Copies of this chain bind each other. A is one copy, B any other.
Amino acid sequence: MGKEEKVYMFDSILRDGSQAQGVSFSVTDKIKIVKKLDEMGIDYIEAGNPSSNPKDREFFEEIKSLKFLNSKLCAFGSTRRSGIKAEEDEGLEKLINSGADVFAIFGKAWDFQVTDIIKTSLLENLNMIGDSIKYLVSLNKEVVFDAEHFFDGFKNNKEYSIEVLNVAKRAGAKWIVLCDTNGGTMPNEVIDIIQYLVKDLKFDNIGVHFHDDAGMAVANSIMAVHYGVRHVQGTFTGVGERCGNANLSSIIANLSLKMDYTTIKKDMLEYLTVAFRYISEACNMTPNERTPYVGNCAFSHKGGMHIDAVRKNPKSFEHINPAFVGNSRRILVSEVSGRSTILPALRKINPKIDKDSPETKAVVKRVKDLEYIGYQFEGAEGSFELLMRKELNVFKPSFKLIEYKVIAERPYISDLSATAIVKIMVNGKLEITAADGKGPVNALDKALRKALGVFYKELADVYLTDYKVRVISGTKATSAKIRVLIESTDGISTWTTVGVSYDIIEASWLALVDSVEYKLIQSNKEE
């Protein structure tokens, strides 16, 4: 269908996504996400609103050092205010000063919004749009014009909404983006309107921006492309205002795999699942496991009949090969899945192992058992390496825990609210020590490293760089299970470990222990 024609992908997770309930990015989070989107080959990254938000200005300052980006970095902002010149508008000045490559300027395309909400004249609204775009274009900037509320505007006053587009086009906007800002437009309306613009009015530089308030954001985007649109805005995980934006990971997969369009580079499609999970985590959101293509459940089979059929021929119950998007089939309730997945890692430890070795089966079983009680090894390669070594009987613990005790109290003196005592044994020698810290986990971390440092000098350089907590089952409240992920570094490499328990301190302890054990294995390898 698409004959490999290019459709430009525009991600707004750092802007529209940040307006979603529960999402709040630090500058560091934003830079992580930009790097990942760039690596995936997203064409445009809308990274914030430097005209209204000081945190976003700080981000644009920091990102300037990342000179190697292939994606175009886009700053979002309003047209000039009513009644002044574009050159005098503070918001536009801040936008320009951000140093972004591209500027997404939004203006109203629904007459009601002009007269009743921003309360200016229909003519002045057109001038605000035209002037702002012309000004940016005169500075040789690329401009994306977001025609806010376009679909509602079209239904209410078709002529005016079209005039808004024409003004933006004449002023030199590269892309004119039709926004379904309130998210309530149906696919048949989208099809009719896009056909009218593309076939009858000959617009050739149209983009779309859909919200999911009626559950139509992905379908509307796909139908828009089918009828001639070549620029699609959305967010990589679908998160955005209210019910969310169009999910770009679904759009990329649908356009590339089902409709023969070019979106991101073909060889990056197989990283779609990893990128989805990475970006969800960077947003501090649990990845929605039922997300099309990239969710954990997307290729999971439960019914016996379906499992049998998939074994005979996967296409019987899979609409695509999960490997195309880097996902994998999950056979639930069965022990036969995953052996070929883990084989390469096992062979690094013992090259003689093959798919049918008892060790392979034992590792798969252990992973399944631990996942059942809440573990997750996808992002915890340190703990997974230890798990394999334990099952292969090539793991020797570096120490034995005799006891830890952690005390947290309030009121507390100074800012250290917790104390930890750790008693361990290494090669028959006892070591007991204590440390205080900002909270119980910090105290425990310090005490463990202090005790182990007596025996293992190579731990001196290790420190934690990230700490994540997930409550796994929300219904049992404070006695729910807790999963802790810890990221550690020795300044050269970085590794992640995992622990699960009803007790957050114990879960943290398990991840801390894996972190030091993993480091000690790596040091031994080097010797």
Contact = CB atoms under 8 A, between A and B. Distances in A.
Interface of A: 19-22, 24, 26, 28-29, 53, 112-113, 116-117, 181-184, 186-188, 212-216, 218-220, 222-223, 226, 239, 241-244, 247, 250, 253-254, 258-259, 284, 286, 288-293, 295-303, 306, 309, 312-313, 315-320, 330, 332, 336, 376, 378-379, 401, 403-411, 415, 417-418, 437-442, 445, 463-471, 473-475, 477-480, 482, 486-487, 501-506, 508-509
A439 B504 contact: yes
Contacts of A247: 215
Contacts of A244: 290
B317 A181 contact: yes
Nearest to A313: B116
Nearest to A182: B319
A526 to B, nearest CB: 24
A421 B410 CA distance: 11
Given A250-B214, A467-B471, A475-B465, A242 B403 contact: no
Contact of A469 (B332, B409, B471, B501): B471
A243 B297 contact: yes
Nearest to A184: B319
Nearest to A437: B479
- 6 tightest CB-CB pairs across the interface, nearest first? A184-B319, A219-B219, A464-B477, A439-B503, A438-B502, A215-B218
Contact of A403 (B376, B410, B467): B410
21 contacts: A21-B302, A21-B378, A188-B223, A242-B297, A242-B300, A284-B471, A284-B475, A288-B288, A404-B410, A408-B408, A410-B506, A410-B509, A437-B479, A439-B479, A439-B482, A439-B505, A440-B440, A465-B475, A467-B471, A468-B471, A478-B508
Contacts of A20: 290, 297, 302
Contacts of A306: 19, 241
A418 B117 contact: no
A258 B186 contact: yes
Contacts of A188: 223, 226
A330 B292 CA distance: 28
A329 to B, nearest CB: 11
A156 B313 CA distance: 16
Given A21-B289, A226-B188, A319-B182, A242 B438 contact: no
Nearest to A317: B182
A504 to B, nearest CB: 6
A286 B509 CA distance: 24
A502 B186 contact: no
Q: Which of A19, A306, A404 gathers most chain B CB within 10 Å? A: A19
B478 A254 contact: no
A319 B464 CA distance: 42
A372 to B, nearest CB: 11
A300 B411 CA distance: 38
B24 A478 contact: no
Contacts of A223: 187-188
A465 B218 CA distance: 34
A184 B471 contact: no
Contact of A376 (B24, B116, B312, B478): B24
